[in-house]
Amino acid sequence: MARVTPRVKRWILIPLSVLLTLGLLAAGLGYWTVRRAFPQVDGELSVPVLDGEATVHRDSSGVPQIYADTPGDLFRAQGFVDAQDRFWQMHFNRMTTAGRLAELFGEDQVETDVYLRTLGWRHVAEQEYELLEPETRAYFDAYAEGVNAYLAQRGGGELGLEFAVLGAMNGDHEVEEWTAVDSLAWLKAMAWDLRGNMEDEIERAGLLAAGIDRDRVEELYPAYPEEEHPVIVEDGEVRDGAFEPGEPEKEDGADEALPPAAPDGAAAALERTADGLGSVPELLGPSSPELGSNSWVVSGEFTESGMPLLANDPHLGAQMPSVWHQTGLHCAEVSAECPFDLTGFGFPGLPGIMIGHNADIAWGFTNLGPDVADLYLERIEGDAAIVDGEEEPLETRTETVAVAGGEDVEFTVRSTRHGPLLSDAEAAADLRAFGENAPVDADGEPADAAEEASYGVALSWTALEPGGTADAIFAIAAADDFDSFREAARSFEVPAQNLVYADTEGNIGYQAPGVIPVRGEGDGR
């Protein structure tokens, strides 16, 4: 029988020992890298930006309930806690909304950044900040101070494992201080995600242009049977524990035909256009028609307790971590100066609570889904749009995209009276091609009968106008009855939503706030 000599054993044991040691070192380094980013969630912390004390209670699932004496400290503490829990998500979101992904990931993201900056989410958020109510601006500023207080205590990989990985890939990236505009811009991103049916309209037009029969297209894209599914049920009765609605009344015009077909040759461009427009929401999480939300509010007349029941289930895209962050915000003593005592769900990076309840009322949101965006075919000559035969100068602004490991890219965003020319962006080359093959001239004549002209495609969208949605978030949170709730909801302009309501007095309600474009005749499909 062969024997293993001590020398051979030694040669086997030495490399095994080295490998084991290296493995233990790697495991220890990995453990340290992950653990050092974990925030302190117990004991006491010094947060210099606070005027007084703030207390954070976390339950067994880590959900924070925040208490403070003033609104300023309440939102500073929320900013600090949000950064503890979700700062990578917040940072990625702000880089997305600002069109700065190339700063993180290099030249592959330049086209995406150009497209995002052409959309102008952050540009509009900067304008919107100046129009907010003074109290709302103060809340946003306080939230930013809280986020920055957390950033001042940590850096690099201490902010999260993702930052450690990013540092290894892109060591030159520096995390900037948080601003109120970073928060506001996320509202624009969510509005884009919930903007309506633009892609469906383009796809329908493409099918018609390809010669598909109208009836077939109607089968593929049927109108939503709103008359069969009323938002507010007024007729019906309960039978054997189940509700049976009354017979719906069909509205006039429910069977109206689809709009005229697009001209021949546009089908391929329209199909590619839909794909291009759909690429941006994927940055915000998967989206699908099957993700429809639901809300229910039932009068106490039909409940065992005699009090209303409200259930809200908004189906936004599935992400890890979630787009939502559960939080409670409580003034130590509720008063006119500090009116908040609520719990619910908000967005990381945005102060306040979007969906939840206070001591008096509860509310929920689902997307109303109206058609709030239109693409306009614009005749362009040089730096002007031709309107009624006259030149109308384009609005322009210069943007610079910084690129990790590369040279800066400078470009010009051009806008018509309707909105930004999306067809100028390289990522929207198919929109540009569609414009170059415009179906009509400035007088509405078929393109093949018109002189050659250059066309662009501009986006008109309600969220590109500064609005008061941010004001509404805090006004709803402080409402204590249906009248004050409805008044607060009036400012919730973008995205248009279904709001359900219940209160401790037994009332239930519904409201659908939002800005909807005023258009000419037609069903918009």
pLDDT higher than 60, residue 274: no
pLDDT score at 196: 67
Q: Give the pLDDT of residue 141.
A: 99
pLDDT at 137 over 70: yes
Q: How confident is the model at residue 82 (pLDDT cuts 50, 70, 90)?
A: very high
Kindly tell me the burial class for residue 170, based on how many C-beta atoms sit within 10 Å of its own C-beta (0-12, 13-18, 19 or more). Answer: middle
Which range (26-30, 112-116, 224-228) has the least confidence?
A: 26-30
Q: What is the pLDDT of residues 474-502, one digit of tens each?
A: 999 999 999 999 999 999 999 999 999 99
Question: What's the longest Cα–Cα distance across the chain?
Answer: 102
Asked whether the beta carbons of 94 and 186 are under 8 A apart, the reply is yes
At residue 254, the pLDDT reads 45
Give the per-residue pLDDT at 265. Answer: 35
Phi/psi at 343 (nearest 5 deg)? -145, 150
What mean pLDDT comes out for the span 93-107? 95
Contact status, residue 525 vs residue 205, Cβ threshold 8 Å: no
* Residue spans per domain, the chain: 197-225+260-284+370-464
DSSP per residue over 16-31, as a string?
A: HHHHHHHHHHHHHHHH
Query: Any idea which of 10-19, 187-196, 332-341, 394-403 has the lowest mean pLDDT?
Result: 10-19
Q: Which two tokens stand for residue 420?
A: 């930004």
Tell me the per-residue pLDDT of 298-310, one tens digit each, with 9 for 90 and over: 999 889 999 999 9
Reported as a single tens digit per residue, the pLDDT across 212-230 is: 888 888 888 887 777 777 7
User: Over the chain, what is the mean pLDDT?
Assistant: 83
Contact at 8 Å (CB) between 214 and 258? Answer: yes
- Tell me if 94 sits within 8 A of 143, measured CB to CB: no
Q: State the pLDDT at residue 428.
A: 55
User: Of residues 263 and 179, which shows the higher confidence score?
Assistant: 179
- pLDDT of the residue at 427: 56
Identify the DSSP state of 14. Answer: H
* pTM for this entry: 0.84
Mean pLDDT of 34-56: 85
CB 476, CB 503: distance < 8 Å: no
470 or 211: which leads in pLDDT: 470
Distances 306 to 234, 236, 332, 371, 506 between C-alpha atoms, Å: 20, 21, 30, 38, 8
| CATH class held by domain 197-225+260-284+370-464 | mainly beta
Lowest mean pLDDT across 119-123, 261-265, 328-332? 261-265
pLDDT of residue 331 exceeding 60: yes
Instruction: Say what the pLDDT of residue 412 is.
Output: 94
Q: What is the pLDDT of residue 100?
A: 96
Confidence check: pLDDT of 160 > 70: yes
Span 454-479, average pLDDT: 93
Instruction: Tell me the residue type at 433.
Output: A
364: pLDDT confidence band, cut at 50, 70 and 90?
very high
pLDDT, tens digit (0-9, with 9 covering 90-100), for 227-241? 777 777 766 676 776
- What distance lies between CA 232 and its chain's CA centroid? 27
Q: What is the pLDDT of residues 161-200, one digit of tens each?
A: 888 888 888 878 899 999 999 999 999 999 988 876 777 7
38 — pLDDT class (breaks 50, 70, 90):
confident
